[in-house]
Amino acid sequence: MCGIAGILGKDSNNSKIICAMLDVQQHRGPDAKALWDDAFITLGHNRLRIIDLSENANQPMVSICRRFTIVYNGEIYNYLEIKEQLKEHYNFKTNSDTEVVLAAYIQWGIAALQQLNGMFSFAIWDCQDHKLIAVRDRFGVKPFYYTIFQNQLFFSSEIKTLFTAGVPKFKNQKVWANYYVYGTYGMPNETFWENIHQLPASHYFEVYFDENLKYSNIKLQKWYDFANRIKKIVPSTVAELKLKYTALLNDAIQLRFKADVPLGMNVSGGLDSSTLINLVHENLSSQQSIEAFTFYSNNKEYDELPWVEEVIKTTSYPLNKVLFDYKEIPKLIDAVSWFQDEPFGGFPTLAYSLLFAAARKKGIKVILDGQGMDEAWAGYDYYFNNSNHVIQGLNSSPVRPEVLIESFRALAIKEEYERPFDNDLQNLQYRDLFYTKIPRALRFNDRISMMHSIELREPFLDYRLVELAFAQSETLKIQDGKSKWLLRDLVKKKLGDAIALAPKRALQIPQREWIANELSSYFNEKIELFAKLENIDEDKVREIWKDYLNGNQDNSFYLWQWINSISVL
C-alpha cells in the first residue's frame, strides 16, 4: 500500500513541489520515497513494502521498453496468476504486483483492468504518445484526487497533498450544505473542497499532452459496469448457490493472505466479523500466523468482547484487546482529523485508530477487515423498514438542518442516484455500494489505517462475491424479519445460532452517553465554536444542544457533524 502523486505540466519547481507532496503523505509509505520526471510530467511515490520487499520493486517504475512509467497504490491479489499469463510477453525483473500491472497494461491496454482482482489506483505515463492514464478500482477502495491548478494537472492519494502543492483551500459550499441537510458526503466525483475532484470508483481517464504543453480535456470513462454484469448472472438453486458462494469466499480469503509481512485482522462480535474469523481459521496454513484485534470501552451494554472471545476460542490466534477510553477522545479528534481531510465517522473511527496503532506496534503491516457483507446481502434495517435514513438503527432524523441560515440551507441539492434495476431493494443496495455507505466507509478506513502505515484488505469486497450476492432475489436476502438470510443459513452450523441469527448491532461505543456526560464540557466548548461559524444560527444550535443534554438523545450524529466541522476546517 502506498501513496502516489504527480504533476502533468512543466514548471521548474515541480520536482521540489513533488518532494513536498510526498513528505506530507509519507505515512502512506514510509519505506521508500522517490520521484521521476521528463519534459512533460513529474511523478512521485511513497512505498509501504508488502510484496517483494526489495528495492527493485520501488516506484516510480519504468517498463523494460522505457516507454511507460507507473505510480501505483494497491494490491492485486491474483497477480501471480496474471503474471503466469504474461511471462512469455514480458521479461519480469521483480516479484512485485506493480510490475504485473504495468506489463498487463502494455499487453492488453485498458482491457487489462478486467483481469485485476484487487484494490488499486494508479497512473501510467506513456512517453511516446504523451498520454497519462489514471485508474481507480471497482469500488473505490484506494483514493485518487486531482485538480487543475495554474494550467497543470495535479493528482495525489490525499487531499492535503494537493494543498501542500499550493492548491487553494476553499469549501465546496454545496457539499457542505448537503452534509448538514441530508447527512451525505458528496457524489462519487466530489469532495468537500472546491475544485478538488476524486476519480470515481470503476472509472479512468486519459489526458494527452502535446509539444506545446497543452493537454486534452479530462473525460471520465467507466471501465466496470456493475449493473450490466448483475443482470447477466444466471439464477441457480439454493444448494448450487451455497456451494458456489462458499468456494468464492474461501478463494477470496486465500488470495488476501499473499504478503511478505505479518498479517492481522479486525474483529467484532457480529456476523460478518465472526464469518471472517472462521474463514481465516479454515484457510490459513499452519506455516502462517495471524493476530486478532478488537476494541472495547468497558461498557457492558455496548462491548462485544463476550462474543469476540467466544469465537476466538475456536482458533489458536492471540486476541489483542484495545481499550477505548473517553479521556483520549479530544486528542484523537485533532489527530485523526488531520489525516482524514474531510468529515468522517464518529467515535468508532477514533477507536479504530487505536486498534491500528496497536497492530503497528506489533510489527503488523496488513489487516483483514469484514467490510462489504451488509451492502451485498441487504443487511441494514432500512432495507426492509421503509426508512429513508442512511444510518443504521435510528428512530429520528440524524441531521438538524434548522441550524443553518436560510440562504446556506438553500444551497443543498438532494442527490439523485442512478436506479439501474427494476426493484427498490437492489437500487438501495446499488446506492449504498457506489454512492453512500461503501464510499464513505472506505474513505474513513483507508485514512485511519494509512495513518499508521497499515494496509487494510476487505475480502468480502471481492467483486465476485459482491456480484453473486447482490444478484440474488429478495427472498434469499430477507426472510422471517432477518436480513442476510442466506449468509446466516450458510454459516449457522459453524458459528451457532447465537451469532448467526443475532440482529445487527448499530454501534459498539457509548457515544451518545459520553457526549451527554463525561465529554459534555468538551463538546460544549466545541459547539460554541461551531455556533459562531458563518451561515450558522447560534441560538438554534444552543437550543438543540440544551435539548440533548436534557435527554433527547436518540442519536448524536448531528452533534458529531458540528464537532467534526470544527476539527476539519
Annotated binding-site ranges for L-glutamine: 97
In the structure grid, which three cell numbers stand for residue 273, read together? 466479523
127 flagged as catalytic: no
User: Which one, of 15, 75, 77, 67, lies nearest residue 47 by Cα?
Assistant: 75
Strand locations in 341-428 (E): 366-368
DSSP 247-268: HHHHHHHHHTT--SS-EEEE--
Per the annotation, where are the binding residues? 97
Q: Please report, as a single letter, which amino acid is at residue 313.
A: K
Residue type, 87: K
% helix / strand / coil in the chain, to the nearest 5? 45, 15, 40
- Helix or strand or coil: residue 563? helix
And the C-alpha cell for 486? 442466506
What's the Cα-to-Cα distance from 184 to each of 208, 558, 561, 563, rounded to whole Å? 34, 12, 11, 16
Q: What angle do CA 315, 317, 320 make, to 5 degrees?
A: 130
Say if residues 7 and 19 touch (Cβ distance below 8 Å). Answer: no
- Between β-strands 290-296 and 319-323, what pairing exists: parallel, antiparallel or unpaired? parallel
Other CB atoms within a 10 A radius of the CB of residue 298 amount to 12
By the 8 A CB rule, do 500 and 375 touch?
Answer: no
**Distance, CA of 343 to CA of 566 (rounded, Å):** 10
What distances in angstroms separate CA 15 from CA 12, 34, 38, one per listed residue? 7, 10, 10
Amino acid in position 92: F
Catalytically annotated residue among 2, 19, 65, 127:
2
**Residue written as grid cell 457526549:** 515
| 465: its cell numbers | 462475491
Q: How many CB atoms lie within 10 A of CB 321?
A: 15
- For 335-348, letters b (16+ CB in 10 Å) and e give ebbebbbbbbbbbb
Query: Would you name the residues annotated as active-site residues?
Result: 2
